[in-house]
Amino acid sequence: MRGAQALVSWSLETGFNLDARLIQGKPLDRREIENFANWLQECMQRGDMALRRKQVDTFNGRIRAAEAMVRWFIETFCDGRGYELPRASIVDAALTTSKREWQNVKKRRVHDDIAPDLDDDTVKAIDTFLKNAAEREKPEPRWVRAYLIWRLTIEFGFRLGEILALRLQDCPTRSDPTIRVVRIEERDGPPDPRGRLAPRPKTLSRELAPILSNSPVPRLIADYQFNHRVRNVRGANGRKSRRPVLGHNYLLVSCSGAPLPRSSAFGLARSISEEVGAQFTWHLGRHAFFNRAYAAADMIDDPSVKAVRVDDLVYWGGWSDPKSLAIYSRRTRQERARSGLAAWRQDIEPLADFP
Which domain, by its residues, includes 309?
112-355
- 229-233's contacts with Cβ under 8 Å and 24+ in sequence apart are 229/253, 230/257, 231/255, 231/256, 231/257, 231/258, 232/256, 232/257
Residues 214 and 71 in one domain: no
Given a cut of 90, whether residue 285 has pLDDT beyond it is yes
Output 286 or 79, whichever has higher pLDDT. Answer: 286
Residue 270, class by beta-carbon neighbours within 10 Å (0-12 exposed, 13-18 middle, 19+ buried)?
middle
Residues 63 and 126 in one domain: no
pLDDT class for 49, splitting at 50, 70, 90?
A: low
Residues 86, 346: Cα–Cα separation, whole Å: 60
pLDDT class for 289, splitting at 50, 70, 90?
A: very high
pLDDT class for 44, splitting at 50, 70, 90?
A: confident
Least confident of 4-18, 77-91, 141-155, 195-209: 77-91
3-state secondary structure 190-216: CCCCCHHHCCCCCCCCEEECCCCCCCC
Residue 197 φ/ψ, nearest 5 degrees: -95, 5
Select from 82, 105, 128 the last residue of a domain.
105
Instruction: Report which listed range, 55-69, 70-84, 226-240, 255-269, is most confident.
Output: 255-269
Residues 79 and 151 in one domain: no
Domain tally, the chain: 2
Half-sphere exposure of 123 (CA within 13 A, CB side): 16
Percent of the chain with pLDDT over 90: 45
Q: Which of 36, 29, 25, 100 is nearest to 66 (CA)?
A: 36
Residues 238 and 304 in one domain: yes
pLDDT class for 340, splitting at 50, 70, 90?
A: low
Residues 258 and 287 in one domain: yes
CATH number, position 269: 1.10.443.10
Select from 42, 75, 105 the last residue of a domain.
105
pLDDT class for 80, splitting at 50, 70, 90?
A: low
Residues 245, 323: Cα–Cα separation, whole Å: 41
Give the pLDDT of residue 253: 93
Given a cut of 90, whether residue 291 has pLDDT beyond it is yes
Q: For the residues 241-248, what does the mean pLDDT come to? A: 75
Select from 105, 130, 159 the last residue of a domain.
105
Buried b (16+ CB within 10 A) or exposed e, 60-97: ebbbbbbbebbbebbeeebebeeeeeeeeebbeebbee
Residues 143 and 87 in one domain: no
pLDDT class for 339, splitting at 50, 70, 90?
A: low
Could you tell me the pTM of the whole model? 0.67
